Amino acid sequence: MIELEQPVEAGHEMRAEIRRISNRTRARRVATSRVMVLLCAVALTLAAVPLALLIYQLLKNGVPVLNKAFFTTVPSTPTLIAPNATGGVSNAIVGSIALNIYASVLAIPVGVFVGIYLAETESKLATTLRTIAQTMAGAPSILMGLFAFSFVVHDLKIGFSALAGSFALAVLMLPVIILSSEIAVRNVPATLREAGLALGAKPHKVSMRVVLPSALTGIVTGAILALSRAVGETAPVLLVIGGGFTNTWGLLNPVSALPLSIFENAKSPWPSQRAQVWGVALVLVAFIFLVSLTARIWASRKQQVRN
Amino acid sequence: MEQKTMADMQSKTATTESTNRGPIAMQLRDVAVSFHGRTAVRDCSFDVAKNKVTSLIGPSGSGKTTLLRALNRLHDLTPGAKVSGQILLEGVDTYRGDLTVTELRTRVGMVFQRPNPFPTMSIYDNAVSGLRFNGVKKKALLDEAAESSLRSAALWDSVSTRLKVAASNLSGGEQQRLCIARALALDPEVLLMDEPTSALDPIATLRIEELMTSLKSRVTVIIVTHNMQQAARISDDCAFLLMGEDRAGELIEFDTTEKIFNNPIDPRTLDYTLGRFG
Amino acid sequence: MTQVPTDLRKHEEVVAEFGSATTSRTWYFYVLLAAAVLFLLVSIGFVGTIFWSSLPTWLHGGLSLLTGKGWTAPNGPFGGLAMIAGTIETSLIALAIAVLIGLGTSIAIVFYIPRRLRNIVATLVELLAAVPSIVYGLWGLLVLAPWMATTVNPWLNKLPFATTIFGNPGQEFGTSLLLASIVLGIMIIPTFVAISREVIAVVPQDLIEACLSLGATRWQVIREVVLPTAKVGLYGATFLSLARATGETVAVAMVAGGVANMQFHLLYPGTSIASWIALQFGESTSKEVAALMALGVLLMLLNFGLSLISRSLVNRQRKLLATV
């Protein structure tokens, strides 16, 4: 048995003093704690309030504008005689659909394959590509517009076109899809891969036939979320698609897009055009919210089934 | 069935006998803990004698740790947790009495299974962290308390020259002793220890067991251990818990260590101490 | 926010031991490799093209892009100092807003919101992130700007030191650097919350219990143990939010006023690097395009740098917790 290195009785005064201070300061400390809880609750409210206000404004100003003509007619310019003759935004809807389909065709296959590559390889190339993807995923989207302008519009001499816009959006989506695909593959339980390999199957077949189907939900979710982000992006397309008032969707023609129509008309002198802009914004936000929520709910249901 | 009822009666008798234990630090009366309605441990009634080591023993799952954590109201953090019965500290109900939970915890300290010194703090800062949390700022007081508690934990000699070094530089055993010093700095009446040596090597374990025995004169120690030999070595009183068929732990027998290990009343206690089940 | 899969180590072990799709040279391997190489080329092209297109500006004007105060279209001289100043000013104020509100929000979500509600609240904050930049810009322009012009700005100008900080633009415009900072701040709150929440939530439970067992109040636990332990990761969240703020283009373009004036008064219109590119690109000559590309290079370097710092901090935080 060891001896205490200091007798028990010494330091009694110190202990009493500690207890005194402790009791004296307790009320204040507990009160401070309560105040801080309150402040954190205030912060949470402050974070939620702008969203609530925004949604309110979107609904209040956007809903009245949504009618059949809004979705089916092309825009027209109001005149003094007909100040409400704004037409609709069918050109922007068609353009956005076209742009995003082309961009998906470009970005999703390549992105998924690179993601699988990163998950399956432990090479210097893989690490480098991962860092590149992480960097590009956070890059300002206007840089993709600059890239598309320089390369597609200028160097390839294609000019302002849907191709240029799709290219910009594809470059935007690519790193995001790569990262989410890699995570989806890595999240497949390693035991599944082990089981396939233990049955004697070759590694690449195991990857294709066993791991990949299991990762599919995550991959699809990631691609859908990347797409929903691209739909709302203005900066990449602003510089390169040219705009226009007709329902075109050809690759080599200038096209319009929903975010672009908002950007162009927000500062319009005509109140009717400014009002219409709210409708476009509402459609955009509603679409993105619905897609994001659906994708997440679907993904979590599949996760639950698997568990 | 009849045998069980007999054992029940006898364990209650054992509790009554314990009133001859001398000064009492804490009393448990029909303490039960449940989570979202499902009972985890129940019917715990015994007295913890002052300045003695009381151990809670039993196989894993028997609710020992759950019971221990009720003693410093750690279950307050867990949503859905409910503690019923009475836990008295020097006669005051710790849950419904006039005692704030923060004050309770300065009088009932805790040491955990895995050593957990605060990683961003030095050895000195760790030792006095309890004091700082309780509003003590005077350097002279902090210095004195640091030295006192580190000496009590038998750590002073090896760290006095490097007090400002990060706590993570210590070995596992030293870190655990730092955690003990940290708890002792507040001069608690009771020290709860949740399997304090299970993550340590045998030599460190031995040193901490020696420490616990010497600390008795200053604090009352309540220790949870799954190591029977340890309980037999260091504790004065023993509470044996067992998981029942409904997966709730219950107190089977409480008595002096001597009696529990040499002449227990309940056959299940005997089975456990003889190692018939883990 | 990307999450780290929990059995990452085991995945690597299996791959190392048995091999994977890329160990043997099958057609599948070549497809994957081709995609990887394609991505590499695209990323090199991304950086290279913008840099290449900006060369004329650097060659003609040297570093005057960084120091010049005026932007004279169509032929120059092109000075980006006003944009740089605007970017710094709006981003820093936005960061202050986002960190203050975001930190409180994260703490509330992790420690004070009951578990059942936690997912709903977290989803709400993520929805904030899903709103596209242009919608924030629209809201700022058509709703907040008039409100600023009629209600807030006159009030702000009555405060002491108003003229120094805010300036007194006379005309009540509404669009200003201040409004841009506020809208920007709102936009980057979800970025900060996403990372800080994760970093705070993984502080080990037994540290929290140890702290409480010493008689600390809940706030003391957060301030003395949780936040210091998560400190490095929180800095990472800060840098990432700053990176995002500097790159925001469209919202700032719509509410900052779009004027390249080299000044710091908050109520005056101003601009940022990214928004200037967006606003000027439409009718620019090839000389101006090159200058805008040069601004793009600047933006790229700034963003990549901040992003890199952020990632290394978050990684350091992860390693720190692995040893605790």
Which whole-number Å values give the CA distances from A203 to A10, B73, C5, in the listed order? 71, 53, 21
Task: State whether C150 and C225 are in the same domain.
Answer: yes
Find tokens 């930190």 and name the residue. Answer: C103
Residues C204 and C150 in one domain: yes
Cα→Cα distances C92→A44, A279, B126, C271, Å: 21, 33, 36, 14
Give the model's confidence band at C3: pLDDT under 50 very low, under 70 low, under 90 confident, else very high. Answer: very low
- Angle between helix A162-186 and helix A124-137 axes, rounded to 10 deg: 120
Pick from C45, C62, C79: which residue ends a domain?
C62
Residues of B in contact with C231 (CB under 8 A): 120
Determine the pLDDT at residue A74: 87
Beginning with the edge strand found earlier in the chain, give each strand of the sheet holding B92-93 in spatial order. Answer: B92-93, B81-89, B24-35, B38-49, B249-256, B237-243, B53-57, B220-224, B190-194, B108-111
My answer on whether C291 and C175 are in the same domain is yes
Neighbours of chain B (3+ CB pairs under 8 A): A, C
Residue from B100, B101, B110 nearest B68 by CA: B110
Whole-model pTM? 0.87
| DSSP annotation string for C192-223 | HHHHHHHHHHTS-HHHHHHHHTTT--HHHHII
User: Final residue of a domain: which of C22, C42, C62?
Assistant: C62
Q: Give contacts of C207 with chain B, Cβ < 8 Å.
A: 116, 118-119
- In the three-class reduction of DSSP (H, G, I as helix; E, B as strand; rest coil), residue B240 is classed as strand
CA pseudo-torsion sign C103, C105, C108, C113: negative
Are residues C21 and C118 both part of a single domain?
Answer: no
Same domain, C7 and C144: no
Residue pair B108/B52 in contact (Cβ under 8 Å)? The answer is no
A18–B141 C-beta distance less than 8 A: yes
Q: Please check whether residues C145 and C264 belong to one and the same domain.
A: yes
Whether residues A5 and B213 touch (CB distance < 8 A) is answered with no
Task: Assign residue C97 the CATH number of its domain.
Answer: 1.10.3720.10
On whether both C211 and C137 belong to a single domain, the answer is: yes
Looking at the fold, whether C217 and C317 belong to one and the same domain comes out as: yes
Contact residues for A200 (Cβ-Cβ < 8 A; gap 6+): none
* pLDDT of chain A, 307 residues: tens digit per residue: 455 555 555 578 888 888 888 889 999 999 999 999 999 999 999 998 998 999 999 999 999 988 888 888 888 888 888 888 788 889 999 999 999 999 999 999 999 999 999 998 888 999 999 999 999 999 999 999 999 999 998 888 888 999 999 999 999 999 999 999 999 999 888 888 888 888 888 888 888 888 889 899 899 999 999 999 999 999 999 989 888 888 888 888 899 999 999 999 998 888 888 899 999 999 999 999 999 888 888 888 877 776 6
Nearest-CB residue to B130 (from C209, C215, C229): C215
Choose the closest CB to B102 out of C207, C215, C324.
Answer: C215
Residue B133 Cα, gap to closest chain C Cα (Å):
5
In sequence order, the 6+-apart residues with CB closer than 8 A to the CB of C194 are C1, C125, C126, C129
Residue C221: pLDDT band (50, 70, 90) is very high
Written as one letter, the residue type at A43 is: A
Same domain, C81 and C170: yes
* C142 and C83 within one domain: yes
Compute the distance between CA of residue A292 and CA of residue C2 in angstroms, rounded to an integer.
Answer: 15
**Res B13: pLDDT:** 38
R_g over Cα of chain B: 19
Q: Which of C47, C62, C77 is the last residue of a domain?
A: C62
**Do C205 and C257 share a domain, yes or no?**
yes
- Residue range(s) defining the domain that contains residue C1: 1-62
Same domain, C84 and C169: yes
Assembly ipTM: 0.89
- C-alpha distances out from residue C314 to A184, C11, C108, C199, C238, Å: 21, 22, 21, 8, 10
Q: Which of B72, B166, B147 is nearest to B111 (CA)?
A: B72
| Cα A169 to the center of its chain, rounded Å | 13
Quick one: pLDDT at residue C9?
Answer: 52
Q: How many domains does chain C have?
A: 2
| Rounded (10°) CA dihedral A225, A229, A282, A105 | -80
Record: contact A140-C100, CB cut-off 8 A: no
